[in-house]
Amino acid sequence: MEAVFFISYFLFLRYNLYYKKMNESKTPKFDILIDKILNELTPHQRICAQCKKEFQIEERDIYFFKMFRVPPPKLCPGCRQQRRLSAANYSTIYRRKCDVPRHNEILISAVAPVIPWVAYDHATYYGDTWDARSFAMEIDDNKPFFLQYLDLLKVVPIRAVPRGAESPNSEFSFYGKYMKDCYYVFGGRRSEDIMFGSSIYDSKYCTDCYFIRNDERVYDNVTTSHCFKCNYSYFSSNCIDCDFMYDCRNCQNCFGCVNLRSKNYCWFNEQLSKEEYKKRRDQTDLGSQKIFLDSKNKFWDFLKTNPVRATRIYQSVNCSGNDIKRSKNCEHCFQTEDSENVRYAGFVIMGMKDSMDVGHTGTSERLYECQNVGTKSSNTKFSFATKESSNCEYMMTSTNCHDCFGCAGLNNGSYMIFNKKYTPEEYFKKVDEIKVSMLLDGSYGEYFSMTFSPCAYNGTMASFIYPLTESEAKERGIFWQIETNVDTRDLKSIDVSELPDNISDVTDELCNLAIIGAVSKKPFKLNQREIKFYKQNNIALPSDTPYSRIIDRYKILNNFQVFEEMCDACGRQIESAYKKLDGFKPYCEDCYRKEIL
């Protein structure tokens, strides 16, 4: 830990010199005030302004506050994450009217109908018929910053359909780039023929998956890579023709296995001959709903009889959290890769450096309290959905901007406040005044409140991890979308229990029925493309709505949490994504490597 401290101290000195050079002369009044706060700051406990629980301001936190020249936050790490994730919709699709003047079409949108802001269709938003600068506002010195910024958000159009033009035939999918023929997919890159997934990279012909890479012809996989014809597989890689696999590598023709490396023809970790394996596999028809459920239950029970890696941290130094690869000095991070010096980050963080409190971002550095900000951005704070930008604060849905404060919907902006252009000298003078005023009233240093989110809370990732009731959300002034069911006016309803047991008996006539989910009790529909996929891969029909299946995949990730636990082998205290009380046997990395690897 001493080595880490000296590294942190060295980095602090380096960045302190950088900020003195770049910022002090530009915002002198703010610098005097923030220096006084930071110079007096020491590790201490605070009470979260939202959940009222105690949280610790640690030495490493202070290092980042000094790097970014911000006061310590009012919220604990969990509540800060909830606030950011309330703007992240990776699960829910709505029908919403287009707000472009003289447009009357209904859009398939990620923006809920309850959101009262202006939402433009894809072609108009990315076209040249409007300019965010036309909504420029004067600064009102007598009005708090956030109230003025909210006035701006209410008039600047937002993307009803956040998807690039380079993703053809993917009308029911959002975010991502180079996604072809995708249906109900949220985010990813260079993938084709994907249904019901999110964060899909370089993959083909996959359905119901989360965070997969270089996979082909897989179903219901979570965090897998380089797998081919593998179904119901989790945290595994380089496997072929396998089903029900957990933390396995380089396996072929295996079923129901846990912790295996370079194995063939294994059945619930039992080594079989090729002939015996083929016989058992032929007798296990996963196209049957009954046989599938029996196999699924047996697999999850079998998992609990085996050691599990408490946290999956590979090729990394001084990291904590879970699902971290090739990273250094990343603390309290989840699904983070190729990153360095990052704190409190999660949900597909790739190539990040020197950042804190970030989500869904990559290839950037020096970001603080940002959500969906990335793509070679730097020195950006308190922002959402901003790309290729630098030296910006309090930004939303902007691209290729630098030195902007409190703007929305901009492209190629510089020296702008509330979307109005200033000279560099005027800009820094006014930013200095705004930041001083915010620092004095206690609002500077905080991300947008959840009332600023362009999403309905019950359609966001925040609702998975930090569930609220409708009344709780409305008490906080958070948008909540009354549920809109699948249009079943002309369709006969059928309970999922009434469906054919085996996929071989299913016909396209099911596309004309509204199926009532087994757990959610809500209707959903199948399409011909789905049925074709299930038949080709001998997969039993899904038993619930696409949204319910997304929730189930996040549960496999324990909602991105770790707990204090004891290693089941050596007894020492560790961080673990698994609890003994739930029946698991979490092993520390040393014991896991000794026994499994």
Instruction: Give me the phi and psi of 53, to 5 degrees please.
Output: -95, 155
Query: What confidence tier does 300 reach under pLDDT thresholds 50, 70, 90?
Result: very high
Q: How far apart are CA 495 and CA 517, in angstroms?
A: 7
User: For residue 567, what are the β-bridge partners?
Assistant: none
pTM: predicted TM-score of the whole model, two decimal places: 0.90
User: For residue 330, what are the β-bridge partners?
Assistant: 342
Tokens of 69: 């020249």
Which helix (DSSP H) or strand (DSSP E) does residue 493 occupy?
strand 492-495
Instruction: For the beta carbon of residue 424, count every other beta carbon within 10 angstroms.
Output: 11
Query: What confidence tier does 2 reach under pLDDT thresholds 50, 70, 90?
Result: very low
Q: Among candidates 359, 403, 357, which has minimal Cα distance to 378? A: 403
Instruction: Give me the phi and psi of 207, to 5 degrees please.
Output: -140, 145
What integer best gives the mean pLDDT of the chain? 92
Of all residues in the chain, what percent carry a pLDDT higher than 70?
A: 95
Q: For 101-159, what is each residue's pLDDT tens digit? A: 999 899 989 999 999 999 999 889 989 999 999 999 999 999 999 999 999 999 999 99
DSSP string, 104-143: -PEEEESS-TT--S-EE-HHHHTSSS--GGGG-----TTS
- Number of H helices and number of E strands within the chain? 14, 30
| β-pairing verdict for 119-120 and 158-159 | parallel
Instruction: Give me the phi and psi of 13, to 5 degrees please.
Output: -60, -40
Q: For 388-424, what is each residue's pLDDT tens digit? A: 999 999 999 999 999 999 999 999 999 999 999 999 9
Q: How far apart are CA 331 and CA 344, in angstroms?
A: 6
Geometric angle at alpha carbon 389, from 383 and 392, rounded to 5°: 50
Q: Among candidates 179, 175, 155, 145, which has minimal Cα distance to 163? A: 175
Average pLDDT over every residue of 275-294 = 97
DSSP string, 203-252: -EEEEEEEEEES-BS-BS-BS-BS-EEEEEEES-BS-EEEEEEES-BS-E
pLDDT at 17 over 60: no
Instruction: For the beta carbon of residue 443, count every other beta carbon within 10 angstroms.
Output: 14
Q: For 342-362, what is each residue's pLDDT tens digit? A: 999 988 889 999 999 999 998
Q: How far apart are CA 561 and CA 547, in angstroms?
A: 21
Query: What confidence tier does 5 reach under pLDDT thresholds 50, 70, 90?
Result: very low
Q: How far apart are CA 432 and CA 56, in angstroms?
A: 30
Which residue in this structure is represented by tokens 């490396």?
261
Burial (CB count <10 Å: 0-12, 13-18, 19+), residue 78 = middle
- String of b and e for 159-189 (b: at least 16 CB within 10 Å)? bbbbbeeebeebeebbbbeebebbbbbbbbe
Residue 22: what pLDDT?
47
